[in-house]
Structure 1
């Protein structure tokens, strides 16, 4: 729902959301639009992005779909340029694009698969942040960057050698960036989701849903909206003193530790 509200927190702001066609990205696009932000949806499939953009507009929001591959410098630069040309400014960036790969053990994983995971999950965030920051610096303070990391940045399951490495690298990277951009009033944080019921998760099969939900303190899987709402909050003035942090949002899934 994107009906106008009197207390919108991001009116007049522009946000880029990568991986915005489905799952967490699509939920975040609607959530940011509800708060009055102009939303730029980024992904590799323009038709899927456009469906989300049309849905936002139908509910009174403002959106623009831009197809691109965040792991390519030319695309990252172009996405930011088109955003600023269209809306006149860039205030927030939600780096949500990511892939898990096929979960192969290291002895079976190809070098190409490893490179793709690192390129999208880690390098893609670095590139989008690199090219977004100059526009944010022109706005002065009150800009924020949020990235989708994972509980697997500090944990692992068999077959996640590349994925866990990409997310751990992301957690480390933002600490350095926070120090670099903090003096300009720009904040950067990660959200580390637990098990979230997204199209990417459903590829693992329905039989694992109930057992995983049972392991969480809240006894359910997360929803894309659970993560989207935190992403919005981190871009509001309510989170004005939070930067360089990787925030676990998992419904208590990781409390007992490995099991």
Structure 2
């Protein structure tokens, strides 16, 4: 039986939809106080209301762009004010627009890295004093199998940003270890989110065919992995990347699945 995290203060960036919403839902069900961030106030408010109604810990929201230092500072201040501190930061906010190499613009690259990499670093930095004060701080990054392990045409800049998160994670884990703060990452495979649904049923079926477990993952399953990394029982795990992908990275080829 894991030690309860009831009452602990959790910040989930990009927590208003998709994987981030699943992470927030799992922590709220476990009784944590959760602050979700997003760039759209209406979506954020609706998510906070929906997740609070499930019972467990309260869920509130803050509107923020993680690529802006001042927004991250305000999020940290809000979490401390509403929740009494910060114990867990789930740096989940990320984007994944596709662009083939020949058509990719400098702006495409800047926006991708501004949110996925810079946003991760700024979010953690803003929460760092409160994490140190906590004495049991946890940082959990949402990376991806794309980049660190696999590749996909059109997502070279996305894959590069997700691999960069792991480079950040390893050095941050060493630097923050003297404060008792662990830094780990979850690497989702193909997850049933709004973004996946937008790509159509044919894309979904092709993805499912490449996964040994034969299905897409659920956002809550990423949340479960994040929750474990936030527990007292995971206190000796740091600088690690956990793939949660139904075995997608395992087959050498489709022939292995026949």
- Normalized against structure 2, the TM-score is what? 0.94
State the match for 1:67 in structure 2.
63
Specify the alignment match of 1:145 in structure 2.
Answer: 139
d(CA) in 2 for partners of 1:145, 1:202: 29
Q: Partners of 2:246 and 2:252 in 1: how far apart?
A: 13
- Which residue does 2:201 correspond to in 1? 206
2:63 maps to 1:55: no
Q: Give the match for residue 89 of structure 2.
A: 93
Q: Structure 1's 7 and 104: CA in aligned 2 closer, same or farther, altered over 3 A?
A: closer
Count of residue pairs the alignment pairs up: 252
1:201, CA displacement in angstroms? 2.0
Partner of residue 14 from structure 1, selected from 9, 15, 18: 9
- 2:251 counterpart (235, 238, 256): 256
**Over residues 125-146 of structure 1, what are the superposed CA-to-partner deviations in whole Å (9 max), with x where a residue is unaligned?**
0000111111111122x21010
The 8 Å contact of residues 145 and 187 in structure 2, kept in 1 or not, is answered as: yes
Alpha carbons 2:142, 2:188 under 8 Å: kept? yes
Inter-partner Cα distance in structure 1 for 2:195 and 2:218: 12
Distance in 2 (alpha carbons) for counterparts of 1:83 and 1:223: 27
Equivalent of 2:186 in 170, 174, 191: 191
SS of structure 1 residue aligned to 2:146:
helix
The answer to whether the 8 Å contact 1:8/1:35 transfers is no
Aligned equivalent of 1:80: 76
The equivalences for 1:170-185 within 5 A come to: 170-185=165-180
Indicate the residue corresponding to 2:233 in structure 1.
238
Q: Could you tell me how far apart the structure 2 residues matched to 1:257 and 1:7 are?
A: 36
Q: Distance in 2 between matches of 1:237 and 1:44?
A: 32
- Aligned-pair RMSD on alpha carbons? 1.6
Which runs of 5 or more residues in structure 1 are unaligned?
Answer: 1-5
Shift of 1:57: 2.3
Unmatched 5+ stretches in structure 2: none
